[in-house]
Amino acid sequence: MSEDSGRGRARAAVPLLLALLPALLAPGCRVVESGAPQDVPPAPTAAKSKHAKPSGRRPGVVNIETEQTLNGTRAAGTGIVLTPSGFVLTNNHVIQGATTIKGTDVDDRRTYTAQVVGYDRTGDIAVIRLSGATGLKAAAFTSANGVAVGDTVTAVGNAGGKGGTPAVVTGRVTALDQSVTARDDSNGTSERLTGLIETDTPIRPGDSGGPLLDTSGKVIGINTAASAGIAVKGTDQRKEHRGYAIPSDRALEIARQIQRGEASSTVHIGKTAMLGVKVRPNGRSPGALVAELVPGSPAEAAGVPVGGVIVAFGDAAVDTPSTLTTLMLARHPGDAVRIEWTTSQGERMAGTVHLTEGPPQ
């Protein structure tokens, strides 16, 4: 991968993160892991819906396709037009690990190359910009604060990663403020997501990053993960399909921060620096174990070996792969950084690496 945490994937966009194109495609929607009762609490009985009819609108939707040359994969997902000039909101896992991104605006049917403006890995939000786009139809957003269990909702997205006219599915809100562990089947990683809107809409791979609409056609959430059915502990029964969406208020707050160019401990702005290692935990010992080197990368040039353990990056100690990723995200292409590692024989080594540009993480 191009980053240092071993997460060079582009989870396309829905329950297995939902993105799923033919042959070498990474999933596009994350899947919700089962087995931990607290991760997938029983859905409360749905209250009577305040609205009778689902929305038929499909505002400002973009079909996203990515290539990940470091992994030899492709992926697909969905985005939502924020501005007529081509700023598009999507999930971070849709563009994660991507070396090439293309977005097709489903209103004008034009395909654009896209650049990453910034992303928040922990919030699973990213903003990309479609190069040369003008006059796009922006989606209409509204606050999710008024959403209630039982409300009728519509999910729109690039289901199956097939492009063209977005798929539209309807359902109801089954729970609010939910926490789940979402798994990316393209690389086996997972992360904890909280404060989500739960629905029974049958979203599919490719839908990640797409809008969850209220009955007036306004965006109240960003579809990000799903479960096709979860076994009920101690029984032979399975709970129905459930989809999970990031509330619009939170998604827009992060997106606006990215558009303002304000980096933080969780938000990365601009191009991503690359060290060029795939790492994993070093057993019970601190450090990031190098499992693979990207050929021609800064790490390889500095002499970092496969099997070595990175223990320091700049002035900070590295105790886990995630620590290394966090430290990397504070850097930019062109930065010179001193790193330290131990060899498989236990010898401590050091060198200076000149970071190059890599895919978003």
Q: What is the model's pLDDT at position 54?
A: 77
Q: State what percent of residues in the chain have pLDDT above 90.
A: 64
Query: Are 127 and 177 part of one and the same domain?
Result: yes
Q: What is the model's pLDDT at position 6?
A: 33
Q: What is the model's pLDDT at position 188?
A: 52
Note whether residue 318 is domain-resident: yes
Query: Are 292 and 261 part of one and the same domain?
Result: no
For residue 261, how many other CB atoms are within 10 A of its CB? 11
More confident residue, 196 or 21: 196
Nearest Cα to Cα of residue 319 among 346, 340, 344 = 340
pLDDT tens digits for 290-328?
A: 999 989 999 999 999 999 999 999 999 999 998 998 899
**At 20, which CATH number?**
2.40.10.120
Query: Are 260 and 171 part of one and the same domain?
Result: yes
Contact 50, 36 (CB under 8 A): no
Query: Are 97 and 42 part of one and the same domain?
Result: yes
Nearest Cα to Cα of residue 323 among 285, 293, 294, 281 = 281
Q: 270, 303, 320: which is the final residue of a domain?
A: 270
Q: 211, 246, 270: which is the final residue of a domain?
A: 270
Query: Are 188 and 326 part of one and the same domain?
Result: no
Note whether residue 2 is domain-resident: no
Query: Are 306 and 351 part of one and the same domain?
Result: yes
Note whether residue 1 is domain-resident: no
Query: Are 258 and 280 part of one and the same domain?
Result: no
Q: What is the model's pLDDT at position 118?
A: 97
Query: Are 260 and 303 part of one and the same domain?
Result: no
DSSP state letter for 151: -
Q: What is the model's pLDDT at position 48?
A: 41
Q: What is the model's pLDDT at position 241?
A: 80
Q: How far apart are CA 332 and CA 350, in angstroms?
A: 20
Measured between alpha carbons, how far is residue 88 from residues 95, 97, 241, 254 in Å? 12, 18, 28, 13
Query: Are 72 and 111 part of one and the same domain?
Result: yes
Q: The tokens of 98 are what? A: 């991507």
Query: Are 251 and 337 part of one and the same domain?
Result: no
Q: pTM (2 decimals)?
A: 0.82
Q: 245, 270, 295: which is the final residue of a domain?
A: 270
Note whether residue 135 is domain-resident: yes
Does the pLDDT value for residue 168 go beyond 90? Answer: yes
pLDDT tens digits for 35-73?
A: 332 333 333 333 444 545 777 666 799 999 999 877 778
Note whether residue 139 is domain-resident: yes
Q: What is the model's pLDDT at position 39?
A: 35
Structural domain that includes position 317: 271-358
Query: Are 136 and 284 part of one and the same domain?
Result: no
Q: Look at the chain and report how many structural domains it folds into.
A: 2
Query: Are 59 and 92 part of one and the same domain?
Result: yes
**At 288, which CATH number?**
2.30.42.10
Phi-psi region of 188 (alpha: psi -120 to 50; beta: other; left: phi over 0): left
DSSP bridge pairs for 349: 341
Q: What is the model's pLDDT at position 73?
A: 84
In this prediction, residues 163-176 reach a mean pLDDT of 93
pLDDT tens digits for 95-144?
A: 998 999 999 999 989 999 999 999 999 999 999 999 999 999 999 999 99
Note whether residue 300 is domain-resident: yes
Q: State what percent of residues in the chain have pLDDT above 70.
A: 79
Nearest Cα to Cα of residue 211 among 107, 59, 84 = 59
DSSP bridge pairs for 156: 168
